[in-house]
Amino acid sequence: MREFKDERIKRMRKFKQGINIRSKKGMELVQVAILVALAVAIGLIFKSEITAFVNDTFNGLQGFN
């Protein structure tokens, strides 16, 4: 009886560890999705400024040739 109880406890611990690992991976995925959404939002908000900066930079580089 004691061996059965110990085995059950070991299986429950492994199960709980598996849940924790999966939830951490899920949280990392959510964090990446939030960061991508934030980058897209900032890009849309500052689209004209970013475009002007890139154009000025490439125009400046063409002057070196």
Kindly state the tokens that stand for 36. 């991508």
Running DSSP on this structure, what letter comes out for residue 65?
A: -
pLDDT, position 4 = 65
Is 13 exposed, middle or buried (CB count within 10 Å of its CB: 0-12, 13-18, 19+)?
exposed
Please state the domain extents for the chain: 2-62
Running DSSP on this structure, what letter comes out for residue 46?
A: T
pLDDT in tens, 20-38: 556 676 788 899 999 999 9
Kindly state the tokens that stand for 8. 């059950």
pLDDT, position 34 = 96
d(CA 33, CA 40): 11
pLDDT in tens, 37-48: 999 999 999 999
Instruction: Determine contact, residues 21/28, Cβ cutoff 8 Å.
Output: no
pLDDT, position 23 = 65
More confident residue, 9 or 58: 58
Residue 64's pLDDT band (cuts 50, 70, 90)? confident
